[in-house]
Amino acid sequence: MDFIMTDVLSGELVPVILGMSAEANETAHRMYRKYGVISHVFCDKIPLPMRLSLCMKFHVIRHSAANERLMLRALIDYAEQLGNAEVILYLIPCTERYANMIWQNRDRLERCFVIADKPEMERVWFGEDPDPIKEERHGQL
């Protein structure tokens, strides 16, 4: 396998997480524990406690909260930098704002990324364990 950008291996899954939230933090840790991969987190700023995380690489896009075009351009540039690296860029929005941005720009982003849909986002954020309350309600229907 070839190293790309010193932290991405050719042929691997690359989680690309949008936004810094509790879901983003948990998702990055879960991806590292389960698959041994580092998540690339695109966000406005890095909260102090998370700066030392070894399972996340941060790509800070200043003012992206006010200008979604900056974030969109950063994502596309990142995908283009990897070029023909044979990686799977798995895009996971971790805030409602970024989920909406992805759905509005889906045509452009699907050329470069595999995009998590709503049920997949929830599964990735919260794990694969079924919600016992939902299971109980489903059994009663």
Structural domains in the chain, CATH included, are 3-140 (3.40.50.720)
> Across the strands, what pairs with 114?
90
Please check the confidence at residue 133 and state whether its pLDDT lies above 90: no
> Across the strands, what pairs with 15?
90
3-class secondary structure, 92: strand
pLDDT (0 to 100) of residue 47: 76
48-78 tens-digit pLDDT: 666 667 889 989 888 766 678 889 999 999 9
Report, as an integer, the average pLDDT of 30-48: 87
Calculate the average pLDDT of the chain: 78
- Per-residue confidence at 138, pLDDT binned at 50, 70, 90? very low
Report, as an integer, the average pLDDT of 35-46: 89
pTM across the whole model = 0.77
Q: Give me the half-sphere count of Cα atoms (radius 13 Å) on the Cβ side of residue 119.
A: 2
Please check the confidence at residue 117 and state whether its pLDDT lies above 60: yes
